[in-house]
Amino acid sequence: MNMKRMFSSYEGDAKKVNDNQNKIELLNCQLESQKCKEHLLVINKSYSNACNFHLEKDYFNSIEALKSAYNKASELQETPCSKCAVLFRSIITQSLENMNEELNKMTSGIFSEKRYKSIYNESCIVLNDFKNKD
């Protein structure tokens, strides 16, 4: 039992992200725009789903949820809202970068797991796409 607790992937250690707990909060908006708040609800839902999928090591669905959150943030085009959108996208991109580094470590080295190679490649493609859009 003690050996299982040494590994972070042990099921007992993984805790689902509470859907009511927002990962991204809007503290100050120049227009106090309802549009930003509405988008942020959807972004937080997708981001929360991505975190839960990541905890379950369901990397494909985690990446898809992050793409959904990123695309929703990209819909904010109006001038004051565009500043919020940049912040939202940078947080989402950072999360994908972290996952990408994790997948890279898992697919390289002596103990590499080849089953994650295709999802690592997918994460690289999506990450490059995010960076090219910013």
> What is the per-residue pLDDT across 91-127, written as a single tens digit (0 to 9) for each?
999 999 999 999 999 998 787 888 899 999 999 999 9
Report pLDDT for 36: 72
Looking at residue 15, its pLDDT comes to 56
Domain locations in the chain as residue ranges: 32-133
**Tokens linked to 8:** 């972070």
- Provide the pLDDT for residue 13: 43
pTM to 2 decimals? 0.79
Whether the per-residue pLDDT at 56 is higher than 80: the answer is yes
Tell me what the mean pLDDT of segment 13-38 comes to.
Answer: 62
**100, 63 contact by CB (below 8 A):** no
